[in-house]
Amino acid sequence: MYSKYEFWRKMSDEKHMLTVLRHQVAQDDSLHLYIFFRLDTLQKFSDMTHQYGGTLLWHRDFTDIPLAFLLQKPVIGLVEFDCSDPKSDPAGAFFHSLRIALGNRVIVSDDPTFPDKVKPLLTYDYAPIAFMGTDEEKPGPFYITDELMNIGVLLTCKVEIYDQPFDKEDYWIEFLCVNDSRDDLY
């Protein structure tokens, strides 16, 4: 079970929540902050991690699969940010541009095996056309937030722009999901 929060945030205040989250994660050595990115090239991962102080843990390039032309951003990857390092700027990386922020996901976990556990889930969620298993191995109904919470993610966040009311052109909606089954953290 998890609680889902949705709220409108002014685009000018875009970094507020991630800055607060970064400081919270820095207070606990067992917590790790990750961002799942979808980018155009592997070089963009290199540039972004160098500029904002992240570490690319894994990536997958879908340019070599059939129908790859359907994917707008054919390279995905998981980047970890050391929140105790003052040079680390996950909010800056996430909001590098509006085009980059949409569809990417911030994840907080305390599981040291998380990067390996999440790779097949995020890969399948992004490009189910690239699934190479048998029909029996293929996931049934698949909702990525449920899958992330089932492997023990503490918190996940993403931003989107859709259904903006007439008076909210300079806002976007943030989706924050918090794992309720982790009572030991409260």
**Residue 169: which pLDDT band, with cuts at 50, 70 and 90?**
low
Helix (H, G, I), strand (E, B) or coil at 12: helix
> What pLDDT does residue 142 have?
81
Strand ranges (E), 14-67: 32-39, 54-61
CA dist 129 and 71 (Å) reads 10
| Each residue's pLDDT tens digit, 102-142 | 778 999 999 999 999 999 999 888 777 666 556 666 666 78
| Reported pTM | 0.86
pLDDT of 172 reads 78
**What is the 8-class DSSP label of residue 183?**
G
**Confidence at residue 160, expressed as pLDDT on a 0 to 100 scale:** 81
pLDDT average, residue stretch 136-150: 80
Residue 156 has pLDDT above 90, yes or no: yes
Residue 29 in this model has a pLDDT that exceeds 80: yes
For residue 52, what are the domain limits?
2-185
CA distance 156 to 109: 9
Beta bridge partners of 81: 33, 54
- How far apart, in whole angstroms, are the C-alpha atoms of residue 147 and residue 155? 12
Q: DSSP for 96-150?
A: S-HHHHTT-EEEEE--TTHHHHHHHHHHHHH-GGG--S-TTTS-SS--HHHHHHH
Number of compact structural domains in the chain: 1
Closest of 80, 96, 100 to residue 88, by C-alpha: 80
Please tell me which residue, 31 or 180, carries the higher pLDDT value: 31
Q: Is residue 53 over pLDDT 50?
A: yes
Rg (CA), the chain: 16
Instruction: Output the pLDDT for position 17.
Output: 85
Torsional class of 173: left (φ above 0), alpha (ψ -120 to 50), beta (otherwise): beta
Q: What percent of the chain has pLDDT over 70?
A: 80
